[in-house]
Amino acid sequence: MTPLAKFLSEELKPYIQKHYRTSSYSILSGHSNSGRFVLDNWLNKHADFSQYFAFSPSLDDGYIVEQLEKTALADLQQARPLLVTMASEGEHMQAPFAALQKRLSEISDKSYVFKIFPNESHRTTKHASMQFALQTTFTGWQPSYEIKVSGIDALSKHYKDLSDKFGFQVDVPNSTLQKLVAHYAVSEAPKSKQALKKHIAFAIAQSPAGINSLFEIADYLQANNYVPAGQLVLDEICNQDNENLRCDNS
């Protein structure tokens, strides 16, 4: 184990976890020679990170590819997710990158992501790579339309799965609940009123700010020519929380 790997594993990471409010989800990221360090760390499991980013890693000495070839596929299947990018660089970098990709493509798993940025140089690729890496890693943060309209149970499960994955509480955004409450309030579909009640109940139970966001959407509907829908939302809020001061004036 190199001194830097030992420092990360035995000193820095434990210190951060002890002194700061952190998620259990952690990422080791590096560019160029630091990207090579990330790959070496990933292969040898010096420190246990949740995700690894290697941006245009220095592969030209053949060390990483050689170590990868020596690693059994069974071990690679158990390794943590890895994302590797490469800029428009010479064959000395492109060839080992292709070998790395080919070796890991033998594993039928989505844990390994590769991306080439043909319009970026070695110097400029790190910013485009970081944006791509974060968007790829945190995909699903915004649920699909199908999940949004499939019911509050499916929607809340989507965010619970995110919470479990990243190690901290991820609530259903009040803005999403507002849009769905408005949708069901104006809808004439047979089960819309039942869905409206469930979404309002969920918003109220999830956080203190939930009920305020519901009053906001009720006022918005009434102010924008959806008076019956706005009143329907207001009536249901007060039906579920009749002690709220707004309900005295409804």
The structural domains of the chain, with segments of one domain joined by +, span: 3-137, 145-248
- pLDDT score, position 119: 95
- pLDDT score, position 108: 67
Amino acid at 58: S
- pLDDT score, position 46: 66
pTM given for the model: 0.76
Q: How many residues does the chain have?
A: 250
- pLDDT score, position 21: 86
Residue bearing tokens 């039906």: 239
Residue bearing tokens 């245009």: 56
Q: Report the distance separating Cα 195 and Cα 155, nearest Å.
A: 12
25 and 51 Cβ atoms separated by less than 8 Å: yes
Which SS3 state, helix, strand or coil, does residue 28 take? strand
- pLDDT score, position 64: 94
Count helices and strands in the chain by DSSP H and E runs = 14, 4
pLDDT < 70: residue spans in the chain: 46-47, 108-110, 249-250
CATH of 3-137, one of 3.40.50.10240, 3.40.50.300, 2.40.50.140, 3.40.50.1820: 3.40.50.1820
